[in-house]
């Protein structure tokens, strides 16, 4: 395996960089006059679990199909494990794929379904039988081989589809919304199992999903797509905590948004109140959208200090007294709607822990003091571009 030395560890030893496995350069895909993909470039490293995330119609499935050779790109190039695969048909590419519908053969037993790809590449019967039993054990269904797909639950069928996809030890595993047809509890259980299986096998994996929670829980890196372009690529923490555009901020998780103006490179004028935020770089006086997540609203009770917590000092420009208009109990936290004229006609949505609500004695109709976390208060221009 070829690697490049990028850095040293704490002991001064050389640390190899991950091997580049799949490289997509300037890829476009048109269906007639409709551009489904627009100048996509992306590098994926060996062993990574990548999620293509975005709303319906954003181009994520089209990109997956282009990687598989099922829909050849209109222009652009693609290299897999050092080989140019840009124009190769699917049969000559090294991948296994699991579709949303599982696509199991209803007239074949589970064993025959898993063995299908192995038979096509001419493996011997003894080798095939051993591999099928190994895979059935790997996906936790060692006693289901003689059954037919219709006799299995949706979750079990999904596991068999995975087993079939990895039977030939492909270098790349493609998953096209593999969990969307399952109920919520099964989805949560299976996403953990798929991630554990991927780690065990070390296979480079690309999964298409529109479920942000699924992507955050499973991916090493998330590729956020919209209207045929890549909005942002980063770890789950990066795309959630440091969205590069308003679309990413709004699509992933809850986000408060308020019209405002720039009061300096890291200052925001919210209805005449100046607050500090992350550096946005927009010129003073420029109209912007201020954005902050509900969990980044810090509760301090009434006044500038919390009762019994004199060591807590609130930054003056980021503290404000608000009216608690509504409180909704959501099990592990309270979601509160807070009002202040600086937010205009919209309420500020804040998520407070049960302990914080109890400690501060919060109740509907009361007032409280909050702090807008300056490291989490973002400023976006009106085109949705976040400026660093």
With H, G, I as helix, E, B as strand and everything else as coil, classify residue 201.
helix
Task: Compute the distance between CA of residue 222 and CA of residue 251 in angstroms, rounded to an integer.
Answer: 13
Question: CA 204, 122, 169 angle in degrees (round to 5)?
Answer: 15
pLDDT(8) > 90: no
Of the candidates 257, 258, 225, which has an alpha carbon nearest to the alpha carbon of residue 239?
Answer: 225
Q: Please report, rounded to a whole number, the percentage of residues in the chain having pLDDT higher than 90.
A: 78
Q: If residue 20 lies in a helix (H) or strand (E), which one and from where to where? A: strand 20-31
Rounded CA-CA distance 43/79 in Å is: 10
Token couple for 45: 């490293």
Judgement on whether residues 68 and 209 belong to the same structural domain of the protein:
yes
Average pLDDT for 328-340: 95
Nearest CA among 117, 101, 206, 208 for reference residue 164: 117
- The pLDDT of residue 301 is 74
pLDDT per position as a tens digit, 18-66: 899 999 999 999 999 999 999 999 999 999 999 999 999 999 999 999 9
Q: Is there a single domain that holds both residue 167 and residue 126?
A: yes
Residues 210 and 272 in one domain: no
Is residue 12 scored above 80 in pLDDT? no
Q: For 107-151, write each residue's pLDDT tens digit.
A: 999 999 999 999 988 889 999 999 999 999 999 999 999 999 999
Give the mean pLDDT of 353-370. 93
The CA angle 105-108-110, to the nearest 5 degrees, is 90
Domain end point (choices 247, 272, 303)? 247
In Å, how far are 46, 135, 220, 233 from 18, measured between CA atoms? 6, 27, 13, 17
For 297-322, the pLDDT digits (tens) are 999 876 444 444 444 444 456 889 99
Q: Give 213's DSSP letter.
A: H
Cα 309 to the center of its chain, rounded Å = 37
Instruction: Tell me which H or E stretch contains 369.
Output: strand 367-372
247, 265, 293 - which closes a domain: 247
CATH code where residue 232 lies:
3.40.50.300
d(CA 280, CA 267): 8
Prediction pTM value: 0.87
pLDDT of residue 186: 87
Instruction: Evaluate whether residue 259 is within a structural domain.
Output: yes
User: Is residue 6 pLDDT above 50, yes or no?
Assistant: no
- Do both 217 and 302 map to the same domain? no
- What range does the domain containing 322 cover? 255-381
Separation CA 340–CA 323 (nearest Å): 7
Assigned domain for 55 exists? yes
- Are 223 and 274 members of one domain? no
Say yes or no to pLDDT of 162 above 50.
yes
| Average model confidence (pLDDT) across the chain | 89
Is position 377 within any domain?
yes
- Same domain? For 237 and 263 the reply is no
Of 329, 326, 322, the residue nearest 300 (C-alpha): 322
Same domain, yes or no, for 197 and 337?
A: no
- The structure tokens 């490293």 sit at 45
Q: What is the predicted pLDDT for the residue at 357?
A: 93
Domain check: are 230 and 279 in the same one?
A: no
Answer yes or no: is 265 within a domain.
Answer: yes
Which tens digit of pLDDT belongs to each residue from 188-227?
A: 889 999 999 999 999 999 999 999 999 999 999 999 999 9
CATH label of the domain that carries residue 350: 2.40.50.100
> Which among 111, 62, 67 has a CA at the least distance from the CA of 206?
67
List the structure tokens of 242. 């440091």
By percentage, how much of the chain surpasses pLDDT 70? 90
End-to-end CA distance of the chain: 37
DSSP string, 332-345: SEEEEEEE-GGGTT
pLDDT of 350 strictly over 90:
yes
Neighbouring residues of 158: CB distance < 8 A, sequence distance ≥ 6: 98, 102, 178, 179, 182, 190
Element (H, E) at 307: none
- How many helices (H) and strands (E) are present in the chain, helices listed first? 9, 22
């Amino acid at each position: 395996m070829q690697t490049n030395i990028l850095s040293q560890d704490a002991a001064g030893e050389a640390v190899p960089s991950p091997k580049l496995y799949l490289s997509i350069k300037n890829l476009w895909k048109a269906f007639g006059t409709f551009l489904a993909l627009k100048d996509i470039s992306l590098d994926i490293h060996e062993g990574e679990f990548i999620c293509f995330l975005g709303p319906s119609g954003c181009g994520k499935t089209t990109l997956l199909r282009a990687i598989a050779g099922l829909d050849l790109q209109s222009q652009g190039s693609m290299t897999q494990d050092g080989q140019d695969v840009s124009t190769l048909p699917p049969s000559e590419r090294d991948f296994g794929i699991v579709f949303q519908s599982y696509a199991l053969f209803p007239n074949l037993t589970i064993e025959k379904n898993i063995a299908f790809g192995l038979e096509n590449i001419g493996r011997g019967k003894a080798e095939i039988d051993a591999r099928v039993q190994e895979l059935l054990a790997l996906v936790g269904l060692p006693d289901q081989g003689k059954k037919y797909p219709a006799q299995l639950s949706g979750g079990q069928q999904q596991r068999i589809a995975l087993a079939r996809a990895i039977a030939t030890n492909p270098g790349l595993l493609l998953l096209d919304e593999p969990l969307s047809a399952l109920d919520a509890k099964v989805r949560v259980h299976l996403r953990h199992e798929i991630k554990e299986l991927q780690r065990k096998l070390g296979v480079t994996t690309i999964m298409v999903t529109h479920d942000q929670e699924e992507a955050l829980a499973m991916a090493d890196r998330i590729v956020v797509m919209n209207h045929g372009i890549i909005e942002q690529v980063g770890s789950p923490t990066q795309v959630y905590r440091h969205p590069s555009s308003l679309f990413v901020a709004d699509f992933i998780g809850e986000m408060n948004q308020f019209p405002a103006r720039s009061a300096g490179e890291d200052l925001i004028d919210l209805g005449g109140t100046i607050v500090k935020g992350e550096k946005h770089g927009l010129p003073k006086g420029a109209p912007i959208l201020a954005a902050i997540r509900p969990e980044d609203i810090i509760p301090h009770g009434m006044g500038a200090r919390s009762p019994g917590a004199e060591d807590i000092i609130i930054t003056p420009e980021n503290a404000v007294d608000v009216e608690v208009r509504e409180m909704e109990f959501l099990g592990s936290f309270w979601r509160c709607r807070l009002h202040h004229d600086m937010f205009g006609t919209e309420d500020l949505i804040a998520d407070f822990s049960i302990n914080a609500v109890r400690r501060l004695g919060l109740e509907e109709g009361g007032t409280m003091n909050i702090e807008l976390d300056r490291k989490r208060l973002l400023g976006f221009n009106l085109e949705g571009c976040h400026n660093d």
